[in-house]
Structure 1
Amino acid sequence: MKAIQYTAFGTRPKVVDVERPSPGPGEVLLRVTASGLCHSDEFVMAMPEEGYPYPMPMTLGHEPAGIVAELGSGASGVAVGDAVIVYGCWGCGVCAMCADGTENLCLTGMLSPGLGVDGAMAEFMVVDSVRHLVPIGDLDPVRAASLTDAALTPYQAIKSVLPRLVGGTTTVVIGAGGLGHVAIQLLRQLTPTRVVALDLGQEKLDFAKENGAHEALTSEPAAAATIKEMTRGRGADVVLDFVGADATGELAVSCGGVASAVVVVGAGLGGAKIGLTSAPYNMSVSTSLWGRRKELLELVEMAKRDQISIRTTTYPITDGEKAYEDMHAGRIVGRAVVVP
């Protein structure tokens, strides 16, 4: 079968031929119907060889949609032919975090398809347990695949600050790309907050407004002063950084006001730095990693009701290398999805 793999350090992903996998006891084989690309793949491929934690080569792809093709011995709860998406946080299932349903914070170490085991950029993939499957019914798999990360990740981040987002508040979204454009939609659906998006280039700014941003500004230091003017000197109540670079972390702190919250979501190898005299008083800074399976079920229902919609550009698996090049070059608006 065809697969898109990271095959050697310092190289780009390649379309290769590999053996079709078979499910072991308790596992499920999926025929992949759609697989979203994510900048986390770029993060993995930028890791140095020393200390690299994953197998090599590795099939990429941690935003899967598929059809149940085969059940391993002892697997139950789904049937061959069921349409599903895959919850990508594969915890141990027994630690305190997993017992609470927070497998994304598994205390013994989380694995994910495409981030530790072979993922969904292939014609077939193996899922370790039926508990990581979420039925989608007749929802379009291309529309549903990226719910697993591009929607789930901002959803958890927003829920962590939801009590703050009352009437009259302002929320800044830094980065209106794959995750950020969904965050804007979620903020508009879930809260009365005013949403200000920051990004680079008029196309991205227009895209942010198409998805519900009240205002869209160029992501530069001067944006903080504009946001202070909008809020009569107070600053934003919440800032969501979907880039995670040092520059955006500094901008996030500058945009926030007294007692505000900054949530760093992007894996840009940087972040927000604060101190008592270098940031607004009582500002809280946190990170947010992925989300819970229960939250993914909630997002599926929202998608079925047309309350959120992920902008996608599709590629056949034979064009997988081009898909990654387009993402790397910043040519994707929204999310790229490979359709085997």
Structure 2
Amino acid sequence: MKAVRLHEYHRSPVVEEVPEPTAKEPFDVVVKIGGAGVCRTDLHLIEGQWDGLAEITMPYTLGHENAGWVHEVGSAVTNVAVGDTVILHPTPTCGLCHACRAGNDMHCENSVFPGLNRDGGMAEYLLTSARACIKLDPSTHPADVAALADAGITAYHAVRKAVPLLYPGTVCVVNGAGGLGHIGIQSLRALTAAKVVVVDRNPDALKLAEQLGADETVLGDGSHVEAVLDLTGGHGAEVVLDFVAEQGAQQDAFAMTRRDGSHFVIGYGGTLEVPTIDLISTERNVVGNLVGTYNDLAELMVLAQTGRVTLHTRKYPLEAALDALADLDAGRVRGRAILTP
């Protein structure tokens, strides 16, 4: 089968032939990929930002946002069957550790992460586990929802955590309206009554944000922090969801957060520098966010399949993976790039 493989850091991946995976263990599931999302994390992996943070053995197949159809199942699998349409939680988990028992799947002590520390889904087939599979309505096309498996639940997870803070009358700033941010806007609309202010340096992204229900949009032109403060009476927002968190955006996000507010860091790549006196004197919170839980993804798919959350995509054939990565890096993708084997 064809797969997009990374052989070394700082060099482009290649599309090459590799053996098809098979179901060998009782809970193994092999999925025929219908759509694989292209994520900024893939760029960070190529750039070597994960070197030393995860046990990565090269070469390996990229792709951690995956959906498709069940192709083969292990002997103990009962929750899905061959032919089922599925979306995959990005971290197959053990189900036995404390984190799994508590429902915090992404902190599983024994999980793997296809596309990061084992072969991912930018391929024709992917090996995963029964615990990662969420069965979808057969009418759902995998390419239309694949990126919800990471971009979607990461954004939804952050919004879900922020919901108790966003009572009517509060303001939430969405910093970055790209692949994650445009899902965050829709999740806020579905789950809260907060006023949604979207900041982005790309006018086209702001147009999309308006279409998705943003109450206010602010162009990230260097005066955006002041603009947000003006919109909030000089106080800042109760919650800032930072879907960028690099190239200075992380500092701006903290500056847009009001006293006793919460700055949720969702994107990554930069370094947040905050004097401790600024934390204690204003009681602002900085909250880290990893990918969401299995239940987060299940809830998000309810919203998606009822039309309350829509993933805006640009599709590429698997052979054009390098084009998709280049377009993402250059900011030419509105929403999410999806590879279709």
- 2:89 maps to 87
- CA distance in structure 2 between the partners assigned to 1:177 and 1:71 by the alignment: 35
Tell me whether 67-76 or 306-315 shows the greater mean CA deviation: 67-76
- Cα deviation for residue 231 of structure 1 reads 1.5
- 1:141 maps to 142
Tell me whether 167-176 or 305-314 shows the greater mean CA deviation: 167-176
- CA distance in structure 1 between the partners assigned to 2:237 and 2:307 by the alignment: 29
For the 8 Å contact 2:93–2:131, the answer to whether it is kept is: no
- CA distance in structure 2 between the partners assigned to 1:337 and 1:259 by the alignment: 39
- 2:14 maps to 14
Give the structure-2-normalised TM-score. 0.94
- CA distance in structure 1 between the partners assigned to 2:270 and 2:28 by the alignment: 34
Give the AA of the match of 1:111: V
- 2:183 maps to 182
- 2:218 maps to 217
- CA distance in structure 2 between the partners assigned to 1:142 and 1:49 by the alignment: 27
- Cα deviation for residue 110 of structure 1 reads 3.7
Partner secondary structure for residue 283 of structure 2? coil
- CA distance in structure 1 between the partners assigned to 2:49 and 2:193 by the alignment: 43
- Cα deviation for residue 47 of structure 1 reads 1.6
1:261 and 2:291 aligned: no
For the 8 Å contact 2:218–2:228, the answer to whether it is kept is: no
Match of 2:60 among 52, 58, 61: 58
- 2:228 maps to 227
Q: Deviations over 1:49-83 (max 9, x none)?
A: 96362110111111111111111233332111011
Give the structure-1-normalised TM-score. 0.94
Partner secondary structure for residue 151 of structure 1? helix
Give the AA of the match of 1:114: G
Partner secondary structure for residue 21 of structure 2? coil
- 2:162 maps to 161
Give the AA of the match of 1:185: Q
1:184–1:272 Cα change, 3 Å: farther
- Cα deviation for residue 241 of structure 1 reads 0.5
Point out 4+ residue stretches in structure 1 off by more than 6 angstroms. none
- Cα deviation for residue 260 of structure 1 reads 0.5
For the 8 Å contact 1:182–1:309, the answer to whether it is kept is: yes
| Ranges in structure 2 where 5+ consecutive residues have no aligned partner | none
- CA distance in structure 2 between the partners assigned to 1:4 and 1:301 by the alignment: 31
Tell me whether 290-299 or 321-330 shows the greater mean CA deviation: 321-330
- 1:304 maps to 305
- CA distance in structure 2 between the partners assigned to 1:67 and 1:92 by the alignment: 22
Partner secondary structure for residue 15 of structure 2? strand
- CA distance in structure 2 between the partners assigned to 1:261 and 1:246 by the alignment: 20
Tell me whether 238-247 or 286-295 shows the greater mean CA deviation: 238-247
Partner secondary structure for residue 183 of structure 1? helix
For the 8 Å contact 2:65–2:90, the answer to whether it is kept is: yes
Give the AA of the match of 2:264: V
- Cα deviation for residue 170 of structure 1 reads 0.9
Partner secondary structure for residue 42 of structure 2? helix
- 1:74 maps to 76
1:141–1:268 Cα change, 3 Å: same
- 1:335 maps to 336
- CA distance in structure 2 between the partners assigned to 1:135 and 1:277 by the alignment: 46
For the 8 Å contact 2:279–2:285, the answer to whether it is kept is: no
